[in-house]
């Protein structure tokens, strides 16, 4: 299942006017997150940044409430078809607002030095638990390795394309 196919599927299923455009569709084993752009509210051009941020946050909340039924109807279809939960987000004024998303448990085995790092983050008040600390570490890697992670993701998309066009002729792909 290629991201471009999913983007097209959602674009075809969502009623006109839900999003101005679909900006991003992200897929993993548990979840599909659909992000679309919406228009910023009209405020004075010289409005302070705090006012602009508050207006955009309000617009995102209004969008969430107004489009809930349409989005949930499409999500039910997608969940049956793709066997994954669907989450939604909006992009407005360069900021992303994620509505709901899956918090999936992840099994991991860590050795004592790695556990010590997590425990230090908990003791230092950076995280409430080892689980929160691990999430914090992942976000830190994302922040500082963004370009490399993007390149890796793009290469995986190419691998999926090659597999889909492989000798079995089925055209089926798997996604992780």
Determine the pLDDT at residue 146.
82
Structure pTM?
0.69
Q: CB–CB of 31/85 below 8 Å?
A: yes
pLDDT of residue 1: 59
Report pLDDT digits (tens) over 25-50: 998 888 999 999 999 999 999 999 99
Residue 113's pLDDT is: 87
Write the pLDDT tens digit of every residue in 47-72. Answer: 999 999 999 999 999 999 999 999 99
Whether the per-residue pLDDT at 173 is higher than 60: the answer is: no
37 forms bridges with which residues in the sheet? Answer: 21, 91
| pLDDT classification of 103: cutoffs 50, 70, 90 | confident
Q: Are 148 and 156 in contact (CB under 8 A)?
A: no
User: Has residue 21 got a pLDDT over 80?
Assistant: yes
Q: How confident is the model at residue 176 (pLDDT cuts 50, 70, 90)?
A: very low
pLDDT digits (tens, 9 = 90+) for 104-119: 777 788 899 899 999 9
- In sequence order, what DSSP letters do the residues of 92-113 get, joined into one string? ETTEEEE-------------HH
- Judged against a pLDDT cut of 60, whether residue 22 lies above it is answered with yes
């Amino acid at each position: 299942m290629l991201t471009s196919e999913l983007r097209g599927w959602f674009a075809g299923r969502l009623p006109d006017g839900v999003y101005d455009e679909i900006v991003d569709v992200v897929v993993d084993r548990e979840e599909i997150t659909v992000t679309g752009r919406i228009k910023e509210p009209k405020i004075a051009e010289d409005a302070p940044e705090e006012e602009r941020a508050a207006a955009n946050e309000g617009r995102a909340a209004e969008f969430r409430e107004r489009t809930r039924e349409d989005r949930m109807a499409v999500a039910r279809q997608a969940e049956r078809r793709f066997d994954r939960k669907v989450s939604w987000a909006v992009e407005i004024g360069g900021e992303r607002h994620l509505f709901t998303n899956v918090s999936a448990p992840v099994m991991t085995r860590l050795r004592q030095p790695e556990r010590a790092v997590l425990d230090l983050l908990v003791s230092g008040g950076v995280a409430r638990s080892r689980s929160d600390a691990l999430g914090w570490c992942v976000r830190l890697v994302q922040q500082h390795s963004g370009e490399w992670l993007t390149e890796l993701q793009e290469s995986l998309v190419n691998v999926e394309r090659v597999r889909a066009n492989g000798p079995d002729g089925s055209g089926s792909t798997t996604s992780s």
